[in-house]
């Protein structure tokens, strides 16, 4: 059996099962086994494939047929040029969420040019999952102080490991928390907590509960904790908007990812909770995917 034949057979199995991108998925899964890339697969197409590699490839295709996302099969996903470890304990970082990082950098730029240069820029990433947003921000903006929290201990282990491997151990401070809960307690043993942040970012769960069952099979393999946003999908977004003001500096910024159809409602939620000038950012499909607001507190 040649590499090309094996690839053709397995691609056809994915296509027959109506997988969206059969050739792409099969190519990625085989290239990794053979320690090569797409060009290498073509170049070595006529070579024969070792029996064990072919079996391994076939079993990966079987996992894909059962609905597992390619990222879980590989155990990693690229985000903002970094190679993140992922598992079914965390949401797979999406290209659309790169929009959130881009927006955060733009917002930080505008804060930095207005603020006195002595105050350290600090960022908190809520519902961090694999740590992708916080780690990418710290990587691209090394001067900032980065904090991240998640309610899931299993997710945090992955986030911490990603941070240690991609940056260094303490590049981002990770804490297990239900949103702001550890920051509320002034007698907290961790005195190093910043009381107030320059920027709070989040890609919270925002899918309405009733829509979870209708999601693509591979999305349903992701943790529902990272997807299910309650009846209208806005449970976490409402809580974040309500509480964020206590943990932001004057003119601090809250930036969240959500579904484009939720943006009007979130604009209202932000205005009701003391944020001004809600701003929208578009994802790769040209849809409003990220919304930000500036905390409307008079300077002291």
Cite the annotated binding site for S-adenosyl-L-methionine by residue number: 150, 203
Stretch that binds ligand GLN, among 55-63, 171-179, 205-213, 269-277 (CB under 6 A): 205-213
Stretch that binds ligand GLN, among 55-63, 133-141, 204-212, 275-283 (CB under 6 A): 204-212
93 binds ligand GLN (CB under 6 A): no
70 binds ligand GLN (CB under 6 A): no
**How many amino acids of this chain bind ligand GLN (CB under 6 A)?**
8
* Closer by beta carbon to ligand GLN, 9 or else 219: 219
Query: Between 222 and 261, how does the x/- string for binding to ligand GLN read (CB under 6 A)?
Result: -----x----------------------------------
Give the residue, chosen from 122, 203, 292, 294, that forms a contact with ligand GLN under the rule CB under 6 A.
203
Q: Residue 152 CB, nearest distance to ligand GLN (Å)?
A: 14
3-state secondary structure the chain: CEHHHHHHHHHHHHHHCCCCCHHHHHHHHHHHHCCCCHHHHHHCCCCECCHHHHHHHHHHHHHHHCCCCHHHHHCEEEECCEEEECCCCCCCCCHHHHHHHHHHHHHHHHHHHHCCCCCCCEEEEECCCCCHHHHHHHHHCCCCEEEEEECCHHHHHHHHHHHHHHCCCCCEEEEECCCCHHHHCCCCCCCCCCCCEEEEEECCCCECHHHHCCCCHHHHCCCHHHCECCCCCCHHHHHHHHHHHHHEEEEEEEEEECCHHHHHHHHHHHHHCCEEEEEEEECCCCCEEEEEEEECCCCC
290 binds ligand GLN (CB under 6 A): no
Q: Residue 205 CB, nearest distance to ligand GLN (Å)?
A: 5
Q: Given the rule CB under 6 A, which residues bind ligand GLN?
A: 94, 203-207, 219, 227
């Amino acid at each position: 059996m040649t590499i090309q034949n094996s690839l053709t057979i397995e691609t056809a199995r994915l296509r027959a099962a109506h997988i969206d991108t059969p050739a792409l998925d099969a190519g990625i899964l085989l290239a990794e086994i053979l320690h090569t890339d797409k060009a290498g697969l073509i170049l070595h197409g006529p070579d024969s494939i070792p029996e064990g590699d072919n079996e391994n490839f076939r079993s990966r295709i079987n996992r894909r047929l059962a609905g597992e996302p390619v990222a879980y099969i590989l155990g990693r996903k690229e985000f903002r040029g970094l190679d993140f470890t992922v598992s079914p304990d965390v949401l797979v970082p999406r290209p659309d969420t790169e929009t959130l990082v881009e927006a955060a950098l733009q917002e930080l730029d505008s804060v930095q040019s207005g603020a006195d240069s002595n105050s350290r820029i600090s960022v908190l990433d809520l519902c961090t999952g694999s740590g992708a947003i916080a780690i990418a921000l710290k990587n691209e903006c090394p001067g900032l102080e980065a904090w991240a929290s998640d309610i899931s201990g299993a997710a945090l282990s992955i986030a911490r490991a990603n941070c240690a491997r991609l940056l260094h151990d303490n590049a981002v401070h990770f804490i297990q928390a239900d949103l702001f809960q550890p920051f509320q307690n002034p007698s907290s043993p961790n005195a190093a907590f910043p009381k107030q942040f320059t920027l709070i970012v989040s890609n919270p769960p925002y899918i309405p509960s009733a829509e979870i069952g209708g999601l693509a099979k591979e999305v349903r393999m992701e943790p529902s904790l990272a997807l299910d946003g309650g009846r209208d999908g806005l449970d976490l977004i409402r809580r974040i908007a309500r509480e964020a003001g206590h943990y932001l500096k004057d003119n601090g910024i809250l930036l969240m990812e959500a579904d484009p159809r939720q943006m009007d409602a979130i604009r209202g939620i932000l205005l009701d909770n003391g944020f001004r000038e809600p701003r929208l950012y578009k994802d790769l499909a040209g849809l409003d995917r990220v919304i930000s607001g500036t905390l409307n507190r008079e300077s002291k």
